[in-house]
Amino acid sequence: MLRVADLSVSYGHINALKKVSIEVFPQEIVVLIGANGAGKTTLLSSILGMKTPDSGEVVFEGKRIDKQAVEKNVREGLCLVPEGRGVFASMTVLDNLLLGAHHNLANKDRNLSRVYEWFPILKKRKDQIAKTLSGGERQMLAIARALMSAPKLIMVDEPSIGLAPIIVNEIFEILLMLNKEGYTVLLSEQNAYKALKCAHRGYVLETGTVSLTGTADQLLSDPGVRAAYLGA
């Protein structure tokens, strides 16, 4: 579904990604594991089209998209739930959701009712201002807003950051539920253990390069991963 080949991305003199290659197949949950500064956000935002790569390719459903505008990529089925959620705090839950629908207005009502089915709490809180939501509810809103564009691949940047462990479990349950509903998921995490428990495969990013890849089970039992990311 998604193929990133030898992607290099820089900020001025900082080479944030150096020839990164990853693949995501339909129906998979794939996790990018890496410490702060490893390049996770840069990779996800470059896939979406927010950053123009220096070299390399991004291919989505057989078509090169690395020079394509974000809007077009979203219309073609990509979406990104940004790090830190990025919900509009002073807008209502419903207005936040409708913002997510502006690429797919024709199916707005259908997408909204599906999102309310998956996130009943958001239906209950639809007229509340987003800043009154808990951290977990805000993450749900950010994911739900992304779903309003009816994506094929949902990318989620560090969904667990700043959330209590029990809420993190809920967020990963939601990603598993969405995967069962047919969504392909690419997420980034520093919370490697829980993410690998949820994912099929993973890539370890270290200072802008892929240092290791494998199935979730392989990575969970890899001594280097255990020492660096699982505290074991």
Ligand X SMILES: Nc1ncnc2c1ncn2[C@@H]1O[C@H](COP(=O)(O)OP(=O)(O)O)[C@@H](O)[C@H]1O
Residues near ligand X (CB under 6 A): 11, 14, 16, 34, 36-42
Tell me, what amino acid is at 232?
Answer: A
Nearer to ligand X, 92 or 190 (CB): 190
Q: Is 142 helix (H, G, I), strand (E, B) or coil?
A: helix
User: Is the distance from CB of 163 to CB of 174 less than 8 angstroms?
Assistant: no
Q: Is 119 helix (H, G, I), strand (E, B) or coil?
A: coil
Q: Is 22 helix (H, G, I), strand (E, B) or coil?
A: strand
Closest by CA to 112, choosing from 128, 129, 130, 93, is 93
Site string for Mg ion, 69-88 (x = CB under 5 A): --------------x-----
Which partner, ligand X, Mg ion, none, binds residue 69 by CB below 5 to 8 Å per kind?
none
Local structure of residue 92 (DSSP, 8 states): B
What are 212's two structure tokens?
Answer: 């290791």
Task: Report residue 137 CA to chain centroid gap.
Answer: 17
Nearer to ligand X, 42 or 160 (CB): 42
Q: Do the strands 184-189 and 153-157 form a parallel or antiparallel pair, or are they unpaired?
A: parallel
41 is an interface residue for Mg ion by CB under 5 A: yes
Which partner, Mg ion, ligand X, none, binds residue 100 by CB below 5 to 8 Å per kind?
none
Nearer to ligand X, 86 or 104 (CB): 86
- Could you give the CA distance from residue 129 to residue 185 in angstroms, rounded to a whole number? 28
Which partner, ligand X, Mg ion, none, binds residue 151 by CB below 5 to 8 Å per kind?
none
Which partner, Mg ion, ligand X, none, binds residue 154 by CB below 5 to 8 Å per kind?
none
Which partner, Mg ion, ligand X, none, binds residue 36 by CB below 5 to 8 Å per kind?
ligand X
Taking the complex as a whole, the smallest distance from the CB of residue 83 to Mg ion amounts, in Å, to 5
- Could you give the CA distance from residue 59 to residue 36 in angstroms, rounded to a whole number? 26
Taking the complex as a whole, the smallest distance from the CB of residue 38 to ligand X amounts, in Å, to 4
Nearer to ligand X, 37 or 77 (CB): 37
Binding residues vs Mg ion (CB under 5 A): 40-41, 83
